[in-house]
Structure 1
Amino acid sequence: MRIPKRLETCRLIIRRYTANDLEMLHEFLNNKDVIGLTDMPLNTSKEETEAFLQMLIDSYTTEEPVAAMAICLKETENVIGSCGFAAVDFSNDTQIYYALEPEFRNNGFATEAMEKLIEYMILVLDIDRICIYCHPENIASMNLAKRIGMQQQTIVQEKDRDAHYFLLTREKYLSGNKV
């Protein structure tokens, strides 16, 4: 799977992580408001964050890269979040994910980033099924899934908790039918 070096939208740059992102990533991974409803571990040490970041960076040049990227404001290039995608172990779906710093929420940045990421996944990588799992308390993510054309399928057990499962197929995306 090819991980893009850089994707751009009107307001954002979505790019691979670099060693310069260590401080931001460490703060990000230790912010309960960011990580609370994700599967990421909270309270990582600086050394753990550095090892995680190096693993991401090293993976970009392998046959099995980790598709994790920084979301940056185009105007300043400051990192405001993270996004990516990964194969789902128990199905043919590819899961997308994102997290934003709290002060950048409710401005359409997540929607903009996810739309660009989906465009790349379908038009460049030829992925047929893209899904997102949302914690039941994460109403904003469920609303985002609907905005980007995903349809709720069911509630599933995801890592020992309930999750709302949303799906977008390549066929639906290419038809332009967003609802």
Structure 2
Amino acid sequence: MRIPQRLETGRLVIRRYTEDDLEELHQFLNNKDVIGLTDMPSNTSQEETEAFLQMLLKSYYSEEPVAAMAICLKENGKVIGSCGFAAVEFSKNTQIYYALKPDFRNNGYATEAMEKLIEYMILVFDIDRICIYCPPDNIASMNLAKRIGMEQHGTIHVKNMDFKYFLLTREMYLNSN
């Protein structure tokens, strides 16, 4: 699987991280309002962030790349968030994820980014099952899952936590588009 260099929407560019993103990524990973509801590393030192970024950059050219990308405003290139996807160890689903800086929430950016990422995952990678796991108190992410066409399929217990489970199948996506 090859992670795309760049995806574009009307207002966003979703692109691979670069070495120039170190400072932005460090600030992002140390903002508890951004990372609090994700499983991304948090409270990292500058050295830990640099090691994490180097791992991402190397992975893009490996057999098993990490699908983590920066969400940027098209108008000025400013990094406003992160998104990506990963195989789910305990199922045949592929999980998508996103996180936005607080100042850029409630503007439709997450919806726009997730719709583009899903389009790429289904039409290019031929992925059949895409899911989101949301903590029950993350109402915004549950609403986003519904907006992008996912259906709630109950609650799942993972790593001693309960998550609301949302699913979008290839068939559901193709029938709605």
Same fold (TM over 0.5): yes
Cα distance in 1, alignment partners of residues 43 and 89 from structure 2: 26
Cα distance in 2, alignment partners of residues 160 and 22 from structure 1: 32
- What SS is found at the alignment partner of 1:64? coil
2:43 is matched with which residue? 43
- What SS is found at the alignment partner of 1:38? coil
Cα distance in 1, alignment partners of residues 158 and 139 from structure 2: 17
34-43 or 120-129: which moved more? Answer: 34-43
Percent identity, aligned pairs only? 78
Q: 1:14-65, CA deviations, whole angstroms, 9 ceiling, x for partnerless residues?
A: 0000000000000000000000111123211000000000000000001100
**What is the deviation of 1:99?**
0.0
**What is the deviation of 1:2?**
1.6
Q: Which structure 1 residue ranges, 5 or more long, are not aligned?
A: none
Q: Which structure 2 residue ranges, 5 or more long, are not aligned?
A: none
**What is the deviation of 1:138?**
0.6
**What is the deviation of 1:149?**
0.2
Matched, 1:130 2:130: yes
Matched, 1:68 2:68: yes
Cα distance in 2, alignment partners of residues 106 and 94 from structure 1: 25
Q: What is the aligned length?
A: 177
1:26 is matched with which residue? 26
The CA RMSD over aligned residues, in Å, is 0.8
Cα distance in 2, alignment partners of residues 168 and 36 from structure 1: 25
TM-score computed with the length of structure 1 as normaliser: 0.97
After the TM superposition, which segments of 4 or more aligned residues of structure 1 sit over 2 Å from their partners? none
1:107 is matched with which residue? 107
TM-score computed with the length of structure 2 as normaliser: 0.98
- What SS is found at the alignment partner of 1:43? coil
- What SS is found at the alignment partner of 2:172? helix
